[in-house]
Amino acid sequence: MEFIKPSDDAKEIAQIHYETMLRALGIWDLMGEEPQKRTPTRVVESFCEFFGNNLEPINFTTFPMSSKTDQMVYVGDIDFAALCAHHHLPFFGKCHVAYYPDKKVCGLSKIPRAIEHFTHGALIQEDVAEALADYLEKKLDPHGVAVAIEAEHTCMSLRGVKKPGHRTVSIVYRGTFNHEKRADDRNTFVHLWRP
């Protein structure tokens, strides 16, 4: 996954354009003198951060399995925040991941690091779940992967229909999680994060 690395000149141009937008909408003069000084800079820096400007590449460490197992590995309740692709407003919530190892497992911190990477940018929640599942399949080559993302979208809670407190859930099952005989495993996975 690639992230933006804008130059200082590009950031300055973005700040000018943001101020121009606020002026065009009649907001600039309502802000007051102090916010006018730094708000365009703060907004541009925030966008750079949301789009992954400060992230380092993931060193996704794996370890060989010493014996065969049929155990599910679960890492859940990982907080995240991202920007929605359509309004560039935040959505935030929890991500939950489970996998059935085959020949290797990952360091437990690698899953939150992967989540951190895949929740930067202008995103669609369902695409994040799919991309995270793809990444974990590629890195771990497991028997199966499950990814669930539950989030509140501020584009729906602060504007439009204005329904704060809602929860949007996306779930992706891969490999053995899709097999009919593993229906109990899907239920176990869901009950781990929705008791």
Residue 117, helix vs strand vs coil: helix
> What kind of fold does domain 62-193 have according to CATH?
GTP Cyclohydrolase I, domain 2 (3.30.1130)
pLDDT tens across 146-184, in order? 999 999 999 999 999 999 999 999 999 999 998 877 788
pTM: 0.90
Q: Is residue 3's pLDDT more than 80?
A: no
Q: CB–CB of 62/104 below 8 Å? A: yes
110-118 helix and 125-140 helix, angle to the nearest 10 degrees: 140
The C-alpha torsion from 108 through 117 and 192 to 72, rounded to 10°, is -50
pLDDT tens across 10-61, in order? 999 999 999 999 999 999 999 999 889 899 999 999 999 888 877 888 899 9
